[in-house]
Amino acid sequence: MENANRDSQIGMQLPNPHLANMTKDNLYHLGMSRTSHDLPALFGDVKFVCLGGSARRMENFAYFIGQELGVLSTNERPPNLASNSERFVLYKAGPVLSANVCIYEHGIGVPSMLVVLHEILKMLHYAGSSEVTFIRIGTCGGIGVPPGSVIVSNAAVNGKLEHTYETVVLGKGIQRPINVDQELASEIHSCSRTEDPFSVILGKTYCTDDFFEGQARTGGAVCDINDGDEHRFLKQLDSEGVKNIEMESAGFFALCHKAGVKCGVVCVTFIDRLSTEDVPTDTDILSEWTQRPQILVARFIKKQLTNGV
């Protein structure tokens, strides 16, 4: 089946004919189902879905954006709506106003992220949500950019430097294109301000399935590469325009494109891999840097809601 059409006011359509018959669909990893929860009442108004790796980080983001949009009162922490699940967390900022943002944790790597992404897409489909934008907010390694820079992906490649994401179906590899919405990436990028104490850079993202050898690190538990291999490969990434390395973007872009929803990826770099492979240990600095993509994305969402999206 072809990609779904961009969802419209009639609600998000998904390219899976089986869903029409799944009247009791159990969204197991979210701890909710079509019968246990009134999905249209809970999520029908969602316009933005933000995903990030860690539960704590996404709880903080839910609080932050709730305050920014004025939909949570001071010190109000939104509840975890996926509390029946031990796998993922889900917060919603804006139950009443039109500022409706769902915030999820997706764990590390494409496989874990895809599980929750499939279920969120179905949840919003059943809820009748329309015109939803998905944004991954994360952390990453940088290539030739100062640590603490925010990279908005305008392209992404898999671990073999190809513009496709391979998923295995019925024992065979299927290639899905990694398609990046240039307009959305530019719009998010344009939310940077000259007074920001960090750079916001549009660039290509290298997505790997491994944090160690897969990202040319020699410091894993096992290693078959040497320092020269590491250096040469990172220089190659640099020369091919790669600005950051993370572990989710390829699957994220590919599945969102296949499902017909808009999506973007915004990550802060923790290190410049051209200088080191060790992530800094100063948790205050890392925590401040972690907020940078959140600040940028919150501005973007606020702008979109003000413009009546």
Residues that bind ligand R2B (CB under 6 A): 53, 108, 138-140, 211, 246-248
Which residue, 43 or 198, is less far from ligand R2B as judged by CB?
198
Helices (H), the chain: 39-43, 55-68, 110-127, 182-189, 227-239, 249-259, 283-306
CB of 44 to ligand R2B, least distance (A): 30
Nearest residue (CB) to ligand R2B, 140 versus 150:
140
- Residue 8, phi then psi, degrees to nearest 5: -125, -165
Please identify, using beta-carbon distances, which residue of 211 and 233 lies nearer to ligand R2B: 211
For ligand R2B, the closer of residues 139 and 192 by Cβ is: 139
Residue of this chain nearest to ligand R2B (CB atom): 246
Nearer to ligand R2B, 108 or 115 (CB): 108
Instruction: Report the distance separating Cα 52 and Cα 271, nearest Å.
Output: 19
Cβ count within 10 A of residue 279: 12
- Cβ at position 82, least distance to ligand R2B in Å: 19
Please report where in the chains the tokens 């808009």 appear, as a residue.
262
Shortest reach from residue 264's CB to ligand R2B, in Å = 15
Smallest separation (angstroms) from ligand R2B to the CB of 279: 8
CA–CA dist 296, 189 (Å, integer): 8
Contacts by 276-281, CB closer than 8 A, 24 or more apart: 277/216, 277/217, 277/218, 277/219, 277/230, 278/219, 280/147
Nearer to ligand R2B among residue 127 and residue 267 (C-beta): 267
Q: How far is the CB of 140 from ligand R2B (least distance, A)?
A: 5
Beta bridge partners of 152: 202, 266
Torsion of CA 159, 187, 49, 70, to 10 degrees: 140
- Close Cβ partners of 13 (under 8 Å, ≥ 6 residues apart): 4, 5, 7, 125, 260
* Residues in Cβ contact with 9 at an 8 Å cutoff, skipping those fewer than 6 apart: 130, 131
Evaluate whether 86 touches 170 at the Cβ level (below 8 Å). no
Could you tell me the smallest distance in angstroms from the CB atom of residue 1 to ligand R2B?
A: 30
Pick the closer one to ligand R2B by CB: 213 or 246.
Answer: 246
DSSP state of 67: H
Considering the complex, state which of residue 100 and residue 290 has its C-beta at the smaller distance from ligand R2B. Answer: 290
* Identity of the residue numbered 151: I
Supply the minimum distance, in Å, between the C-beta of residue 275 and ligand R2B.
Answer: 18
Q: Please give the Cα distance from 30 to 246 (Å, whole number).
A: 24
Q: How far is the CB of 160 from ligand R2B (least distance, A)?
A: 17
